Amino acid sequence: MEYYSIATILIVLSAVFGYINVRFLKLPITIGLMLITIVFTVVLVGVAQFDDTMLLREKAFINSIDFKTVLLDIMLSFLLFAGALHTNFNQLKVQRGPILAFATLGVLVSTFLVGIIMFYVLHWIGIEVTFINCLLFGALISPTDPIAVLGILKKAGAPKKLETKIVGESLFNDGVGVVVFLTIFAIAAKPEAAIAFSDIATLFGQEVIGGVALGLFLGWITYRLMKSIDNYEVEVILTISTVMGGTMLAHKFHLSAPLAMVTAGLIVGNDTVRNSAMSETTEAYVDKFWELIDVLLNTILFIMIGMEMLVLTLDGKYIYAGLLAIPIILMCRYMSLWLPIKFFSKRLDFVPKTNLIMTWGGLRGGISIALALSLTQDMHRELFLVITYIVVIVSIVGQGLTVEPIIKRLTRKSD
């Protein structure tokens, strides 16, 4: 199917499902669109018992979309730049210590905890999986999804310093999580080959440090160019070129494009740059343009996630493993956050029950599914894809719908 046809179908579905959500369900857009898409897919499966024409067409449509490439190589950079552009830079600067710890140490600890526990749980229910492949699953499921978190947390009414921690962590930890995943993937793909620790450290350093450095450079160049003119049309185009050109450079030199886009977005969006480089008109147009891009790509992404249900291998043991994985992943996230929170709570003012709120507010989303789709058959792709899908659906729908009342209840008790 042609790219134009695929994009057209996705945008039309986004418009129709978005209208249904706003008109009738009135749920947060990410949750509403996913629920409507899942119901739509289930109805198609039911109709297929009598006539499978529509079902076969939808399956062919889903198989024609390279979800991993579309999300990780195209959409993610736009979504992260848009999210970082509207993040409070000053709050992020104050909370940089815990955010850095959550995004690095937290992801690594969670990866190993999930991998170790899932290795024994899968063997207990009769599924033979090697330890390195369980670690791969730990790496792909540990990062929280900034797209899901930003979309839902905006309406949750969390205290500003707590919201900054959750949003800041989610913006950075997906870039770190992808690097951790790729590193373990390289080891799992060649189990017989000896991979030196120096090679792993070099890969990690190149991706992470190089990505942040590229983002700093892109942000500075964009700032200087925007400061030298006063034309909102060209300045909006400059921000687009920063994202598209920066992503291409990151892929060319094997740097982390997500970290580069987050860094560039934070620089362009911070108050100092806004006040000195953008007129009020430019600022309004830049903000509105990126808000629209954020909403459009979010709607397309979560419709794609809902439709991915058709390509799953719904084996009974796989579903059981997915249900068992939900409390395991939540427990591992709680444990991975405990040490950084304990350490930084002595220096910074933390909201009571921060660990509990961050555990429940750390949603999983499309990034985890995209990474699961990149696994090979030797890495038990079908098993981990089903587990990941179940975790993501429960995370976005279950946690997403309840995170607002939980935050309000816990913060009210502390007040």
Query: Nearest 5 degrees, angle CA 26-CA 27-CA 31?
Result: 150
Shared-domain flag, residues 269 and 331: yes
Shared-domain flag, residues 302 and 154: yes
Residue 155's pLDDT band (boundaries 50, 70, 90)? low
What's the start-to-end Cα distance of the chain, in Å? 56
> Each residue of 254-310: pLDDT tens digit?
899 999 999 999 999 998 889 999 999 999 999 999 999 998 998 999 999 999 888
Distances (CA, A) of 392 to 39, 109, 357, 370, 397: 16, 20, 18, 11, 8
Q: Which of 71, 146, 89, 99 is nearest to 304 (CA)?
A: 71
Q: Which of 308, 397, 290 is nearest to 30 (CA)?
A: 397
Query: Nearest 5 degrees, angle CA 142-CA 145-CA 146?
Result: 135
Q: What percent of the chain has pLDDT over 90?
A: 58
Shared-domain flag, residues 237 and 337: yes
Torsion of CA 247, 251, 254, 255, to 10 degrees: 10
* Higher per-residue pLDDT: 201 or 26: 26
Shared-domain flag, residues 145 and 121: yes
Shared-domain flag, residues 56 and 83: no
CATH number of the domain at 137, please. 1.20.1530.20
Last residue of a domain, one of 40, 63, 86: 63
- Hey, what amino acid is at 355? N
Q: Which helix (H) or strand (E) holds 196?
A: none
**What pLDDT score does 412 carry?**
72
Shared-domain flag, residues 190 and 59: no
Last residue of a domain, one of 44, 63, 82: 63
Shared-domain flag, residues 138 and 258: yes
Shared-domain flag, residues 145 and 248: yes
Phi and psi angles of residue 373, each rounded to the nearest 5 degrees, phi first: -70, -20
Q: How many other CB atoms sit within 10 Å of the CB of residue 181?
A: 27
pLDDT of residue 62 exceeding 80: yes
Shared-domain flag, residues 34 and 165: no
Q: What residue ranges in 15-134 does DSSP mark as E strands?
A: none
Residue 1's pLDDT band (boundaries 50, 70, 90)? low
> Each residue of 306-351: pLDDT tens digit?
998 888 988 999 999 999 999 999 999 999 999 999 899 877 778 8
Domain interval for residue 7: 3-63
pLDDT of residue 156 exceeding 70: no
Shared-domain flag, residues 33 and 105: no
How many folded domains does the chain comprise?
Answer: 2
Rounded Cα distance between 345 and 334, Å, is 15
Shared-domain flag, residues 205 and 293: yes
> Each residue of 341-399: pLDDT tens digit?
989 987 777 888 899 999 998 899 889 999 999 999 999 999 999 999 999 999 999 99
Last residue of a domain, one of 36, 63, 90: 63
Q: Which of 411, 414, 415, 362 is nearest to 158 (CA)?
A: 411
Structure-token pair, residue 347: 């220096």
pLDDT of residue 194 exceeding 60: no
pLDDT of residue 246 exceeding 90: yes
One DSSP character per residue, 246-262 reads HHHHHHHTT--HHHHHH
Shared-domain flag, residues 161 and 287: yes
